[in-house]
Amino acid sequence: MFGPTEEGIIDANFASKPSVQDAIQDYYSYYEQEHHNECQCEEESIHILHFLKEHGVQIGVVTGKSRRSFDISTTALQLDSYFDVSITGDDVVQPKPHPEGIHKVLHTLGLIR
């Protein structure tokens, strides 16, 4: 799904703006607590990432997730050490499918100016 980050979705769906920050905090607390019950990383994915890192390949990721959500997921799935650069929905003005995130990854890795 393309669009705003989790925080943007929550903000857009709450009529009472003072409740938004509480809802966002509740969301992240639940997301972090239950992540291990809902998501596991496929072993093949770990093998590919490990192989690429062993061979000196720089790895970038572009996600529509918020930075906080991305950090929770990569930590829970033990993927945080594989990515040389990560661009989240918080790091772009134009969300996917706009190429802004890909351009930022390529620029950060020194592949484009």
85: its two tokens: 């650069």
Which pTM value belongs to this model? Answer: 0.86
Q: Which single residue is written with the structure tokens 């239950």? A: 34
The neighbouring-strand residues paired with 60 are: 85
pLDDT tens per residue across span 9-55: 998 888 777 788 899 999 999 999 988 887 878 899 999 999 999 99
Helices (H), 2-99: 6-12, 17-38, 43-54, 67-76
Q: Where are the domains of the chain?
A: 6-108
Report residue 1's pLDDT band, with 50, 70 and 90 as the boundaries.
Answer: low
Query: Do residues 43 and 49 make contact, with C-beta atoms less than 8 angstroms apart?
Result: no
Architecture of domain 6-108: 3-Layer(aba) Sandwich (3.40)
How far is Cα 18 from Cα 26, in angstroms, rounded to an integer?
Answer: 14
Work out the percent of the chain whose per-residue pLDDT is above 90: 73
